[in-house]
Amino acid sequence: MAARPLVSVFSLTGDKSGEATLPAVMTAPLRPDIVQFVHTNMNKNNRQAYAVSIRAGKQVSASSWGTGRAVARIPRVGGGGTSRSGQGAFGNMCRGGRMFNPTKTWRKWHKKINTTQKRYAVASALAATAVPALVMARGHRVDEVPEIPLVLDNAVESTKKTSVAKDILAAVGALADVEKAADSKQIRSGKGKMRNRRYTLRRGPLIIYSNNDGVEQAFRNLPGVELCNVDRLNLLQLAPGGHMGRFCIWSKSALEALDTIYGEDGKRIPAVPMVNA
């Protein structure tokens, strides 16, 4: 790619306070298919196993009555004196029988994904966070943001109080997205609400820093806001739902660190397959 453009760095009061070069990763090819594939598989990696009991439906001593008694040949519960006697047992079609193909805990719950594919997806997702159209298409309210990608001074990493954090976001135009998340809190529809997943919330901005000097604790209580260290970027946060274009707020050192992480000595940036003549 040609000379890389400059990105403005903003101070915590919203004024422009410097410039940084756009990292090379932001010019990686945008590949929604790879991002979606890697995301669906990565999403399966924190699943907990479920299965029916191994003895479910089998704890009966039932045997078939054979032919000649004008009943179907399914095994039937023996004995007498209760309505259960004579009922069909064992089959998946029987009431109280074991299910077809009982679920087992040794199902392959986690998915292995090639490392190159995972890195490609993260690079693509990072590139998408720098395109305002994609961030808006994903649903983030970024109309008031002065620039995308949004880079703040390193002082943001030393914020200690949430009230200060909220003021910073307001000064920089990012509060609209946080408010969207806050307004969207609803009780989940479906059984998840009784299974410790009571509320659903939209995702707000993702704040990426390189040094945690209080950022995590200052920003984490704001609804929808997520935090990420630049060394450990997570595709599930960069492309929630498999859709590229999360609204990311960078600290200056985090943005500059990207050039080291994805550079000659670091991870390879995917090559663009076609360049316009």
Partner 1 sequence: MVQCSDALVWELTKNNTSFMRKVNGKTKRSGTVRFSVEKGNVKNISSYKYSGLANSKTVDVSATDDNRAALSTKSSKASTQPSKGQPVTPLNKSFRRVEKTITSQVADNNYRPDLKADALARYSAIYAGNRVAKGVKKSVPVKKGRGKAE
Q: How crowded is residue 169: how many other Cβ atoms within 10 Å of its Cβ? A: 26
Shortest reach from residue 85's CB to partner 1, in Å: 50
Shortest reach from residue 42's CB to partner 1, in Å: 20
127/218 with CB nearer partner 1:
127
Task: Please answer whether residues 229 and 209 qualify as being in contact, where contact means their C-beta atoms are separated by less than 8 angstroms.
Answer: yes
Q: What is the contact mask toward partner 1 in residues 133 to 152, using x (rule: CB under 8 A)? A: xx-xxxx--xxxxxxxx---
Amino acid at 254: A
Q: How crowded is residue 233: how many other Cβ atoms within 10 Å of its Cβ? A: 20
The yes or no reply on residue 1 touching partner 1 (CB under 8 A) is: yes
Of residues 116-135, those binding partner 1 (CB under 8 A): 127, 130-134
Cα 169 from Cα 175, distance rounded (Å): 5
Any long-range contacts for 109-116 (C-beta under 8 Å, 24+ apart)? 109/44, 109/47, 109/48, 109/49, 110/44, 110/45, 110/47, 111/41, 111/42, 111/44, 111/45, 113/38, 113/41, 113/42
Provide the 3-class DSSP secondary structure of residue 18.
Answer: strand
Q: What is the contact mask toward partner 1 in residues 160 to 199, using x (rule: CB under 8 A)? A: -------------x--------------------------
Binding residue for partner 1, selected from 38, 244, 249, 254, defined by CB under 8 A: 244
The yes or no reply on residue 240 touching partner 1 (CB under 8 A) is: no
Cα 192 from Cα 198, distance rounded (Å): 6
The yes or no reply on residue 32 touching partner 1 (CB under 8 A) is: yes
7/94 with CB nearer partner 1:
7
| Residues making contact with partner 1 (CB under 8 A) | 1, 5, 22, 26-27, 30, 32, 127, 130-134, 136-139, 142-149, 173, 243-244
